[in-house]
Structure 1
């Protein structure tokens, strides 16, 4: 455990548990947490590797709930745009994009929480747009699950279907961006010592999250997911001002 931050690993576990309960993955918490310990590009690399293990766990535990049609409509544009975002991450200034992301998450989650009767039609167009935005954000900023969570919350899926579908899409995204980040030089030898721990945390956090999820009624699930996304947006904005 020499030179390993136990506090960081505990925070990663909490991020994984909340990400499983919320259904949008741990990166929305893991990326802001990681930025306190590593440089931005190292966080991108670690997030992609960490997510591969956590999403494999979710696919295994929630596989019966996968919405195959939504996987195709959300997943294909997500994979295409995560590759584009991953390559652009090396070229663009991410600071202002992170601010925009934080404002977007706060604004839209508040809209859905205040106007709970708003539900997007489960159309191919809405799925493609949401998938494209979440994939691009995941490649560029390391986190796109919250945008995908907003899209899927609008579709008002049953909670098992929500988590299983989101995890399968996320796995495809992470597999694609891991290759891009590796080519970009974001996966460094110094951080690889965390990978075995993060792999175990991905499995354990998913399992704990599933156990907790049993006690959350379906009627409260959409509101809980949106509340988590609101918190993520606030944390993202506050962190940017703290680190300036």
Structure 2
């Protein structure tokens, strides 16, 4: 990658990390569609998973004392199981369809949260297990499932810090699991390794900046701005996918 492209990629990754931290649903909903401008979809899945391992490590350091461990286990165990299934399927199906699904998912979830900003599941064990299952599977298959996890966590009326901490604890297990599978499937090679020192810095810096901004900005207003951006990125992703040759 040329230096100018690398700088642009790093800047977009930092923005995605900051916005994802403040929005509460992680950076992948922004990072995955943005990274496709620089890499093929399999590489995007691999880079996103490892980037999120670093990102969630940073959030765990910053917010660790706020984790709700009961919710983390109930939501996290099915998420880790089904992210593995989704990640394996990426090697068995045409990635064209995974990219179409990603675009449609971003548009649907962004629009849903814009139209019904207070929408939540009921805070039951059944819904928590279901939310973990769906969010994990989507994370493995299309690279992002944070919106479903966020929708599930919102039912428990957690504080902003507890929401981010608990979500990050779950996401750490999810991303570590899919990283191992993506690497075993050859989605990354040695040529990609030199991006990761930069991504580690971005993960910690973006999380720290996001935490600072949370103290000063109206959360709901900011979420609306981020959701509009997610819908637009979903449209771009879907358009790019549909204009490719169908396999």
- TM-score, length-normalised on structure 1? 0.89
Q: Which runs of 5+ in 1 are unaligned?
A: none
Alignment of structure 1 residues 188-227 onto 2, 5 Å = 188-217=189-218, 220-221=219-220, 224-225=222-223
Structure 2 contact 102–238 (Cα < 8 Å) conserved: no
* Residue aligning to 2:239: 241
Structure 1 contact 9–198 (Cα < 8 Å) conserved: yes
Indicate whether 1:27 and 2:25 are aligned.
no
Indicate whether 1:42 and 2:40 are aligned.
no
Q: Which runs of 5+ in 2 are unaligned?
A: none
Q: How many residues are treated as equivalent by the alignment?
A: 241
Aligned CA RMSD, in angstroms, stands at: 2.2
* Residue aligning to 1:158: 159
* Residue aligning to 1:232: 230
- TM-score, length-normalised on structure 2? 0.88
Alpha carbons of structure 1 residues 129 and 225: separation in structure 2 relative to 1, 3 Å? farther
- The one-character-per-residue Cα deviations of 1:27-61 (angstroms, maximum 9, x if unpaired) are 11111111110111111111111111110110111
* Residue aligning to 1:77: 78
SS at match of 2:200: helix
* Residue aligning to 1:176: 177
Structure 2 contact 99–142 (Cα < 8 Å) conserved: yes
Alpha carbons of structure 1 residues 60 and 239: separation in structure 2 relative to 1, 3 Å? same
Alignment of structure 1 residues 80-159 onto 2, 5 Å = 80-116=81-117, 118-159=119-160
SS at match of 2:131: helix
SS at match of 1:216: coil
Displacement after TM superposition at 1:104 (Å): 4.0
